[in-house]
Amino acid sequence: MENIQRALKKADLQNNIKVSTPYPTSVLNNSFPPSEGTFGEDMSAILNFLSDNGSTFMAHVYPYFSYKNSAGSTSADYSLFRSTNTVVTDGNLMYNNLFDVFVDAFISAMEKLGHSNIPIVITESGWPTEGNAVATVDNARTYNNNLIKHVLSNAGTPKRPGTTIETYIFTLFNENQKTGSEARHFGLFDTTKIPVYPMDFLAESSVYPPLSSPESSRDLKVVYIYLTVI
C-alpha cells in the first residue's frame, strides 16, 4: 500500500484515488459484545496509514457464517434483518441485527488503537443459495434485500447512527469454477445471466413477492456494479 501511495503522490493523484485493503472478521480477536471488539494482531501501522492518507477501513461482513456455525444459538431473524426488537444490549447501545454488531466491533477495535474517525466500508457481504440447510434462495433474497434497505435508510449503526454504511454485495454472478457448492452460489445471477431471485436495489418494496409469482421475474434494478480484484 505504501508503494502504491508513493506512486499516486508522484502522479498527483493521491486526492483522487485512495488506497486500502479489505479485512475479514477473522482479524477480530473479539467481536462480542461489539464495544469489546479488538483486533487479534497489531493493526496500528495499517490504521495510521489509513488515517494519514484519508483512506477508509475496508471489511468483509458475513452474518451468514455466524448463523450457519451458531448451532442454533443465533436466530434467523437476527441474522436476516427481520428482528424488530432489541436482541443485544451493549451498555446504552441496542442491536437488532448481526450485521451492525460486526460493523461496530470493527469500529470499537479501531477506537482502542486510537482511531475513532476512520470511515468504514463493507466491501463484501452476502448470502449463498446452496451448500447447506441455511443457504437457501429465500434466505439469500431476504438478507440481500434487507441489507439494501438497511444501508439506504441511512440509519447507520448504534455506534455511528445517522451515517451511510457504504456496502457492496458479494457477488454479481455464481462462480462455477470455485470449489464447493456454497462458494459457487453467492451470485445474484446464475452462470447463464438469469437472476437467481428478485432484487430491489432501490428498496422500494416493503414486501417481496413469492419466488413463484410472475412479479418475481421482473427486471433487476441495477444501480452499480463493484468489482474486486484479488
Query: What is the pLDDT, as a whole number, of residue 41?
Result: 87
The SS3 call for residue 23 is strand
Please, what is the Cα angle at 160 between 204 and 154, to 5 degrees? 15
Architecture of domain 2-217: Alpha-Beta Barrel (3.20)
Mean pLDDT for the chain overall:
89
pLDDT at 220: 39
The residue extents of the domains of the chain are 2-217
pTM metric for this prediction: 0.87
Per residue in 174-189, pLDDT (tens digit) is 999 999 999 999 999 9
Q: Which pLDDT tens digit goes with each residue over 8-26?
A: 999 999 999 999 999 999 9
Q: What tens digit of pLDDT does each residue of 24-66 get?
A: 999 999 999 999 999 998 899 999 999 999 999 999 999 999 9
What end-to-end distance do the CA atoms of the chain give, in Å? 14
Tell me the average pLDDT across 134-145: 96
- Predicted local confidence at residue 204, as pLDDT: 72
Higher pLDDT, 225 or 64: 64
Grid coordinates given for 164:
451511510
Taking the C-alpha atoms of residue 104 and residue 97, their distance in angstroms, rounded to an integer, is: 11
- The reported pLDDT for the residue numbered 224 is 37
What is the structure's pLDDT at 128?
98
C-alpha 63/C-alpha 150 separation (Å) is 14
